[in-house]
Structure 1
């Protein structure tokens, strides 16, 4: 099968602008004519092999960046938004969406922002929100959604924060006791650490300069919270600088994002990039061995694996998702072509939902999405107890996966028949934009197809998709 042509006009323009060259000078350094470069930048022509090699040799560009970025995410997010019933004319052709994502990404983001504002306004009206009539009732994105999209379009990798965390996590000359390092760093900053029998996981008494950590929390959670506080105290300037670049619309979004960045620092310090990437490769991504080796939980390891997208030193592109018992996605990220629905839950055919039925076990699945891409997926339930009788237990399920071409590098793919097409279960993204015609778990019809309804016939669904 011939390799797909690479259209990366927006990325070429970004590289040229970043190094401050005119089209004429850039074309000369790449060894192509000015008209040819102009056609590539406008996606009228694919990026040639000669140009890819020149980008690597002349400018040291990690050529994998050409095929990464917002393109697939934007296409997936636009398809989901356009599946909203408000767009009565149906979804534009996929080719048009890809053209918009590659040639006009800023316009695509503006469209998504507009649709998000519409949804929020519509939900307020539907619930008779008392905010109607107030001066601050104008539509604006939910702070939580705004922060979610920030990490989503950063590929869940924040370089400056990741490198600062790696420096902190390896500064103990290989002793490997990140917990002691965190306590020592806090002590040097005048903050005492107290481990208390309390429901509150972490409480920093800034006035008394005491950090209280719950003894009821698992050891890895205690370490994570120590490192999170280190980030808020020692890396405050870096976090604020990163937030300034993000330009959040509300103070609430900025505050949520700051906690998110501190969480990112904590995970990256527990599992420093270089050492963790090497360990992941050596163990063939054995989650349990990685958790033991770095004093982390399975969920923390899965989340960290999904962030290993440093230019020039990328790990396997993983997707990572966490769902609650109602099927609502509470965490999501994908460095793969698989993109999750921005609103609602995940496909019911996905093995992440079955994890609740078999607690304490790893469930493996070979899956294929409607675009024909095949994946290996691993799912498991996660229970978070509060540490005392009568307190509620939070239950989630997590899934980690990647494209099947990486199966040889995954210990959890051993024994799976990845060569047999029939071994792959069909899954989708969202029923409204899923193109499958015969799915027995479909909840709503696909909006981009016409339906046939026969009152004399009843199959699994009360209609058929044309």
Structure 2
């Protein structure tokens, strides 16, 4: 098998500059001619084996730093950004992307930062839903919204917490029973565990050093709540350090975020990164199989899949959303280009709203957003019984989706015709920022379009939206 040629001009230049050597002196130390070094530094020729050995022997250079991993990741990130429909008619060829990543990595990163800022500007438009939808709206976000945005702009992946949870769940690299690990961790700090009937899911008595869990809760919920308390009691320094970096504007936001980070630890310990990533690929993201294998709920599995964005080991980029019966979004995370309305309900054309009508069943939907991006969505109700006669039932529905380019990795795509345009339902994000002119479910006009009102004519809507 032919070996891959190594082009590392940027690394060579950085090394020479750090050592304070001229090209002539550097070439002499490496045992090559000046023109040859110049060609290598400009990626016109690959770095030879002799040069790699000379770098290690002459300068003690860690040759693994010459790896093209960073360049390949840059190429991958640029290809993902250039898949945005805004570049539909001007996307450069792959060879140009590789040249940019190898010869001008700083420029490539600047492009990615610019595209990220472009995406965020669209999200800021969505935030106008708050100002227009609530009379008490303020310019500054509430503590709850500030925390939600913190997780959102982290792509819902917190590396330090995720890795700490994985080390906790997999001592020696082998996944252990989460309940046994949690009990042992709590016992080390002198905390006992009891199960009792009563309101609430979890209660910790600091004076008695006792954690009480609801005996009527589902086993997956009990495991999650126990792991949550482990995070609060044994990983608080890590949580506090992460909170310090976030620089929240209020003590309330910091307190809410601490709970969110403890929840993150619990989910990552119940579904350790490497184990769930491998299992997801093996089962082609079958939520029910994964739920059974890890002793987690379908909602916990779906939520976890949306967080698998570790650099160098990313899973399928998913969006995850949970809605209540009124259509209000109660959870939202997205590693895709799809961004949810920050306030109010989701588009009524999404299949997540129909999940309440078919309890216990998965619904599939091929959907297309106004920007032309196509998705595979799956939805299911996740109603939570109260556990006793007269106890309130909490009713929710969840949706998990990915861009259609990843659909082959999901068992739910089997037997669907992904090539038929008519199979894709037109959906939006929120009526206020959706540009579709003929939507029969539109509730309010779009923010940035002019309207035409004719009292003598009536179509689906009592007004027409200008082009």
TM class, shorter-chain normalised? 0.7 to 0.9
Q: 1:70 to 1:414 in 2, by over 3 A?
A: same
Q: How is 1:340-355 mapped onto 2 (pairs within 5 angstroms)?
A: 340-355=340-355
**Partner SS, residue 433 of structure 2:** coil
Quote the offset at 1:234 in angstroms: 0.9
What corresponds to 1:374 in structure 2? 374
2:124 paired with 1:78: yes
What corresponds to 1:143 in structure 2? 143
Question: Structure 2 CA distance, aligned partners of 1:190 and 1:176?
Answer: 21
Q: 1:329 to 1:457 in 2, by over 3 A?
A: same
Post-superposition CA distance 1:30-75 (Å, at most 9, x none)? 859xxxxxxx9xxxx998421324688xx9xx99x94898446413
- TM-score with structure 1 length normalisation? 0.76
Quote the offset at 1:452 in angstroms: 2.0
**Partner SS, residue 365 of structure 2:** strand
What corresponds to 1:6 in structure 2? none
RMSD (Å), alpha carbons: 3.1
Quote the offset at 1:174 in angstroms: 3.1
Q: How is 1:254-265 mapped onto 2 (pairs within 5 angstroms)?
A: 254-265=254-265
Question: Structure 1 CA distance, aligned partners of 2:264 and 2:363?
Answer: 27
What corresponds to 1:123 in structure 2? 135
What corresponds to 1:406 in structure 2? 406
Question: Structure 2 CA distance, aligned partners of 1:164 and 1:394?
Answer: 32
**Partner SS, residue 400 of structure 2:** strand
Quote the offset at 1:209 in angstroms: 0.3
Contact 1:172 1:181 in 2 (8 A): no
Contact 2:284 2:411 in 1 (8 A): yes
2:285 paired with 1:272: no
What corresponds to 1:162 in structure 2? 162
Quote the offset at 1:235 in angstroms: 0.5
- TM-score with structure 2 length normalisation? 0.76
Question: Structure 2 CA distance, aligned partners of 1:68 and 1:163?
Answer: 29
What corresponds to 1:315 in structure 2? 315
Q: 1:386 to 1:70 in 2, by over 3 A?
A: farther
Post-superposition CA distance 1:179-234 (Å, at most 9, x none)? 11111111111100111122221011110101001111000000000100010011
Q: 1:119 to 1:236 in 2, by over 3 A?
A: farther
Question: Structure 2 CA distance, aligned partners of 1:139 and 1:78?
Answer: 12
Post-superposition CA distance 1:13-33 (Å, at most 9, x none)? xxx9xxx9xxxxxxx99859x
Post-superposition CA distance 1:107-164 (Å, at most 9, x none)? xxxxxxxxx7x779x7338xxxxxxxxxxxx964211001000001011000000000
**Partner SS, residue 302 of structure 2:** helix
Contact 1:73 1:339 in 2 (8 A): no
**Partner SS, residue 397 of structure 1:** strand
2:432 paired with 1:432: yes
Question: Structure 2 CA distance, aligned partners of 1:119 and 1:153?
Answer: 23
Quote the offset at 1:450 in angstroms: 1.8
What corresponds to 1:230 in structure 2? 230
What corresponds to 2:98 in structure 1? 49
Q: 1:232 to 1:358 in 2, by over 3 A?
A: same
Q: How is 1:80-119 mapped onto 2 (pairs within 5 angstroms)?
A: 80-81=126-127
**Partner SS, residue 124 of structure 2:** helix
Segments of 5+ residues of structure 1 without an aligned counterpart are: 1-15, 21-27, 33-39, 85-115, 126-137
Q: Which has the larger radius of gyration?
A: 2
Post-superposition CA distance 1:321-355 (Å, at most 9, x none)? 00111111000011000000112111010000111
Contact 2:243 2:258 in 1 (8 A): yes
Quote the offset at 1:245 in angstroms: 0.6
What corresponds to 2:34 in structure 1? none
Quote the offset at 1:176 in angstroms: 3.4
> Which sits farther off after the overlay, 382-391 or 365-374?
382-391
Quote the offset at 1:173 in angstroms: 6.0
Contact 2:355 2:397 in 1 (8 A): yes
> Which sits farther off after the overlay, 46-55 or 413-422?
46-55
> Which sits farther off after the overlay, 172-181 or 403-412?
172-181
Contact 1:369 1:428 in 2 (8 A): yes
**Partner SS, residue 432 of structure 1:** helix
